Amino acid sequence: MTSANFAVHAEAIIPVSGPENVLKFHSIVVREGVSDELMPNAQARALSDIEHLELHGHVLMPGLVNAHGHAAMTLLRGYADDMSLASWLNDKIWPLEARWVSPEFVRDGTDIAAAEMLLSGITATSDMYFFPDITAQSLRAAGMRTQLVFPIMNIETAWAKNAEEYFEKGLALRDYFRNDDLVDIGFGPHSTYTVDESLLSRTAMLANELDAAIQIHLHETAAEVLAHVEATGERPIDLLARIGLLGPRTQCVHMTAIGSQDIETIAAHGAHVVHCPRSNMKLASGACPVSKLRDAGINVALGTDGAASNNRLNGLAEMQSAALLAKLESGDPTALSASESIRMATLDGARALGLDHVTGSLEPGKSADFIAIDLSGFNMAPNHQVESNIVYATSGTEVTHSWIAGKNVVKNRQLQSLDSDALRHTAADWRAKLSAKS
């Protein structure tokens, strides 16, 4: 659209918020980047002061929220497959990162990741990686809504030599973006096995003072939990609770190795869980018990993790995997319905990131972050149930349009904020570099 004021007319709208799951033959009216109103097609078409876009055979819904990722790791897609998490990290990923991670690596990998995410319906993403300043610039230029959690580790890396430098650079980044409409900066302690208790305690103190988000890999495998218990006599999540790191702004990523007591602890502290089904399945790390978490009143969001362990950054594919895995893990075919999976990928994701007042649902006053999905393919026919088709029948390529804050970033399946041909050349260049010297 060339105007800030426009209406998109579709076969259906999934607002995610409100009394009805699906609004048939409805339109969304956008004014100055904000969702102004949802109304029947005929009523919206009668508006004369705005532009109009007809999307026959499409459904409109909120943009998907990728609540955990490592965008730059797109350059490592397929580099290390079919391995356990420990071997994958220690033998392949960390040595390669030590050799190659740089501002250029992060910029190029993030640009490719942004393209993939946008084309699969992701409009908001959370990212944890080195050189978060570069990641922020790339995602901001792509037009994406972003939470950046700057890395905190007890390990020297290409980005920082020690704890002081991690905090100094991260807090400077937070200050730089403090008034940005699309970028929010939080704390990203990597895990309890790469960050010691004193550093985690300092993170808790600073995050609480600043009311900032915290994201951490937690209880990702049974081996991780067992090693922590053997070393300290305490489960990782109990450590976080004891030092004040677990709270309503905390996002616990993975959480596959948890029991009833862990679930009670999460619920008592109001923390969020970010479920990464495809990555966890590929690494055989386990399955997050989503149904038990949700039954306990815990908010569960969806994340792709990095392309090195997934190997896709596809919002539709992640939503489908989450719904199917929940049924398998629980033994209950009613677990995580299509409607619940959609909510987990949109409003619940926004809630985990502290953005549910801005995005995650289509309702008046919220940012116009929404996508259009083509329902005309044979894989959708005869389209008995729209939500079912989106979750169970999509291949991940059905997104034709995407808007973020009313700005059209995908149009007719074409990226509007990124150069697709240039990105393909960049990817080929990195393949040559990594193949020659790895």
Question: pLDDT digits over 150-159, tens only?
Answer: 999 999 999 9
CA-closest candidate to residue 250, choices 294, 288, 293, 204:
204
- Would you call 222 helix, strand, or coil by DSSP? helix
Rounded CA separation 390/337 (Å): 12
- Cβ-count burial of 324 within 10 angstroms (0-12 exposed, 13-18 middle, 19+ buried)? middle
Mean pLDDT lowest among 18-22, 198-202, 424-428: 18-22
Q: Tens digit of pLDDT for each residue in 163-221?
A: 999 999 999 999 999 999 999 999 999 999 999 999 999 999 999 999 999 999 999 99
Residue type for position 192: T
In the predicted model, is pLDDT for residue 83 greater than 90? no
Contact in structure between 107 and 134 (CB atoms under 8 Å): yes
Q: Enumerate the H helices of 46-145 as residue ranges.
A: 85-87, 94-100, 103-119, 132-142
Question: In the predicted model, what is the mean pLDDT of the chain?
Answer: 96
Contact indicator for 304, 310 with CB cutoff of 8 Å: yes
Tokens (6 digits) for 373: 């999905």
Q: How confident is the model at residue 1 (pLDDT cuts 50, 70, 90)?
A: low
Q: What is the pLDDT of residue 80?
A: 85
Tokens at 294, concatenated: 């949700």
Q: Would the pLDDT of 79 be above 90?
A: no
Residue 378 scores a pLDDT above 60: yes
Instruction: Render pLDDT for 97-111 as a digit per residue (tens, 0 to 9).
Output: 888 999 999 999 999
pLDDT attached to residue 437: 56
- Separation CA 359–CA 218 (nearest Å): 26
pLDDT of residue 84 exceeding 60, the answer is: yes
- Interval 332-365: pLDDT, tens: 999 999 999 999 999 999 999 999 999 999 999 9
**Cβ–Cβ < 8 Å for 93, 129:** no
Contact criterion met (CB below 8 Å) for 183 and 136 = yes
pTM exceeding the 0.85 threshold for the entire prediction: yes
Helix H or strand E encompassing 324: helix 315-330
Q: Are 47 and 253 in contact (CB under 8 A)?
A: no
Residue 2: band (very low, low, confident or very high) from pLDDT cuts 50, 70, 90: low
Q: Which domains does the chain have, with CATH numbers?
A: 5-62+365-405 (2.30.40.10), 64-352 (3.20.20.140)
Average pLDDT over residues 125-133: 97
